[in-house]
Structure 1
Amino acid sequence: MKERTLPRAAAALLSAALLATAIAVPTAASASPQGNHHGGPRIHPGLPSACTGTDPVVCTFSDLAPGDYDVSVLLGTDAADSNTEGFAESRRLMLAAVPVAQGDRERRSFTVNVRDPEGQQNQPVGTGTPGLTLTFSGDAPALAGIGITPASPRTKQLFLVGDSTVTDQEVEPYAGWGQRLPSHLDLGVSVVNHSGSGESTVSTLSKPELFDALEPQIGQGDVVLIQLAHNDKTTTAEQYRANLSEMVQRIRARGGTAVLVTPLVRLRFTDGAINRVGLIVTDQADLPAEMRAVATSLQVPLIDLTERSRVLVESLGPVESEPIYLVRVNGDRTHTSDYGASVYADIVAEELQNLHLLPASRWR
């Protein structure tokens, strides 16, 4: 498997070359400084040849090695009002829709993680294209400029360990909340989604490309969110607790902070309430309850996404909740749509922000 993280020394050597190729059109006289206030790469005159198209605009920097990169973009056009979303790599939402009035400019910055494979980490062969791919779409996308540099060694990393409801799904209509989470974070935090479809606590620990590959990337002060339960159908309560405890201990040994995330509910109703299947209660264990117990015994921060999602879905009811999932697309009551992934990413972001594990200035 390829090296997943660009060494900091190598990143520094790339900086000058990237500055020379990260080019943009001149800022208009009416350009607005609104948006990111933490600096970011310089935007030079003239769009680079790596950017093609208009709707969407796709920028492919194929020579960038795996690692973290800071990106600044200038959005807007003199021709008309615009509205632009920014995506990185495997459909990761980096910028929610940014409206810009005709003649104005808006600068936005973010930090993106480049890895191989770029999507689900349990793929037998790396997926995607080499380097960094950025896509700018939306109602009326307008990219006026772009700049890229290797991220600072001080960049915080937010790791995600999860299943198909968390992972970077490559193909629509599927989406995981982990690939919508980056849009909540500003320059200086890299979201590293180390999840894969079908994974459980058992498989995540047993497959070398999953937790074993993630572990050496964790640095002092990094945060690791763990949402695993949907696929632990045959895992006993004792083994489930042991698996979660092992992950927590290994994360702490690296200087990181583990956060346990109980699984989002399935859209399964009985008599107006989410039933046992929907609440991820198996014949072996009440998995959310077991995760809560581990969080208490090990004094681990907890995001109770099971409870938050249950309250939300039950308040909407079985029909009005359907757009969150893929029921109306293919009958799927477990996996989320783009809309549903955003709904749950919003909840996770809110809960994580309340834990104060990342600097307040790094939240959008």
Structure 2
Amino acid sequence: MKLVGLALAAVLVLGAAPADASPRWTVCDGSCSFDVPPGDYEIEALLTGQTGLDVEARRIALAPVNTRPGRYVHRSVTVEVRTPEGMPSGEDGPGTPGLQVRLTGPAPRPARIAVTPRPRAPRVFVISDSTAADWTFLPKNGWAQALPELFRAGPSVRNYAQSGASTVSYLADPRYFPRVRPMIRPGDTALIQLAHNDKQTPEDVYRANLATLVDGVRAQGGAPVLVTPPVRHRFGADGKLTPLGLVVSTIGVDLPAVMRDVAGEQKIPLLDLTARSQALLEGLGEAASWPLYLTLAHDGVDDATHLSRYGAEQFAALVTQEMTRVRLPLARFLRRPNG
């Protein structure tokens, strides 16, 4: 891995790569590490071939472009550097200091990359569980792990989703909401999606916990947004998802329905990922929708809850479709096709 410092200015082009790139630009071949402290940074990249970028704990920052040899496309994205790189529990270790960048794509070519601090970037906090988390190691992926690639430079996705978290544990554990809440600044957005692990949480407690999370974000000047949970790959004989698939708890609480109700009571936006993902799975059918999740043939395990990289990207796209539908202010930063 090549360690580089911050180099700072250059001409951005769509066409032939600049012959005399300024010292700001660093050629990254395979992977490289930028020696920067924790914070938010804009990554600018000149990409060629079939090349994209992942950063830190396998976060998908830029989708692969597709160009002819010698032709370059400029892309930019804002990302967070933190310790630990992955989930806030640190269960996968602290990671590597600085900003880690890895080239991706079917035919990656060396890329020219520049990194600039963006300390006042608007932030998008993700308060969730394993279905959204930054998974450091294969094969699991969270939908928020793929969210950065869908935004152009501007907002920084700060994914503090934690495997195993419920509304109960996310509030109680000092590594989770007590850590995240003080980070939130006026104007930041917090996407709250906790349900999968509230299997035994009574409905009144679940409602109260969601309200506590919403109030905590508001107290910091942030904008809370509830996100209903993604469905599980659990089909009945009729070709429809079962109650377990639709994230009804083991004690019979329809958690997405409660979340919709709380959003109405609190008068805050709701992104209905449950309904969107249900429509996607049932539209594809049981067999054709399996590639969204982990499969025995590809990943060594059949897992009806956790997502493949492809599934994470598809579900992240559903979340951004909901942002557009409800006219969330964040939607103005969404990346246009091929842009």
Give the TM-score of the pair, scaled to structure 1: 0.84
Q: Kindly provide the amino acid, as one letter, of the partner of residue 104 in structure 1.
A: R
The answer (yes or no) to whether the contact 2:166–2:196 under 8 Å persists in 1 is: yes
SS in 1 for 2:265: helix
Structure 1 residue 30, shift from structure 2 partner: 3.4
Q: 1:83 to 1:198 in 2, by over 3 A?
A: same
Q: 2:40 corresponds to which residue? A: 68
CA drift of 1:353 comes to 2.8
Contact 2:14 2:73 in 1 (8 A): no
Q: Is the 8 A contact 1:180 1:342 kept in 2?
A: yes
Tell me the distance in 2 between the aligned counterparts of 1:107 and 1:68: 20
Aligned 1:107-126 pairs, distance under 5 A:
107-123=74-90, 126=93
Residue 58 of structure 1 corresponds to 31
Match of residue 248 from structure 1:
214
Deviations 1:189-234 (A, max 9, x none): 1000011111100000001111111111111111110111000011
Q: 1:144 to 1:321 in 2, by over 3 A?
A: closer
Residues 254-283 of structure 1: per-residue CA shift (max 9 Å, x gap): 111111111111111112211111111121
Q: TM-score, normalised by structure 2?
A: 0.90
Separation of aligned partners in 2, 1:144 and 1:249: 44
Write the distance in 2 (CA, Å) between the matches of 1:114 and 1:85: 19
1:295 — aligned with what?
263
8 Å CA contact 2:17, 2:70 repeated in 1:
no
User: Structure 1 residues 48 and 23, CA, compared in 2 at 3 Å: closer, same or farther?
Assistant: farther
Aligned match of 2:72 = 105
Shift of 1:103: 2.3
Q: What is the distance in 2 between the residues matched to 1:183 and 1:133? A: 16
Counterpart of 1:225? 191
Question: Relative to structure 2, which stretch is displaced further, 243-252 or 120-129?
Answer: 120-129
1:346 aligned partner, one-letter code: A
Structure 1, gaps ≥5 residues long: 1-16, 34-42, 77-81
Amino acid in the other structure paired with 2:290: E
Total equivalences in the alignment: 325
Question: Which deviations, in whole Å up to 9, do the C-alpha atoms of 1:82-121 show, x marking residues without a partner?
Answer: 1101111011111111112222221111111011111111
RMSD: 2.3
Q: Deviations over 1:100-153 (max 9, x none)?
A: 222222111111101111111122574210111011121222234221111052
User: Structure 2 unaligned runs (5+)?
Assistant: none
> Structure 2 CA distance, aligned partners of 1:218 and 1:27?
33
- 1:30 maps to a residue whose letter is G
C-alpha deviations, 1:16-68, integer Å up to 9, x for none? x965x3588x87893489xxxxxxxxx6248648x4xx4xx21102x311110
Q: 1:151 to 1:29 in 2, by over 3 A?
A: closer
Q: Which moved more, 1:163-172 or 1:143-152?
A: 143-152
Give how far 1:348 is off: 0.4
Matched, 1:44 2:22: yes
Where does 1:312-351 land on structure 2 (aligned, <5 Å)? 312-328=280-296, 329=299, 330-351=301-322
- Residue correspondence of structure 1 range 160-179 to structure 2 within 5 A: 160-179=126-145
Distance 1:335 1:95 in 2: 22
Matched, 1:132 2:132: no
SS in 1 for 2:115: strand
Question: Which residue of structure 2 aligns with residue 277 of structure 1?
Answer: 244
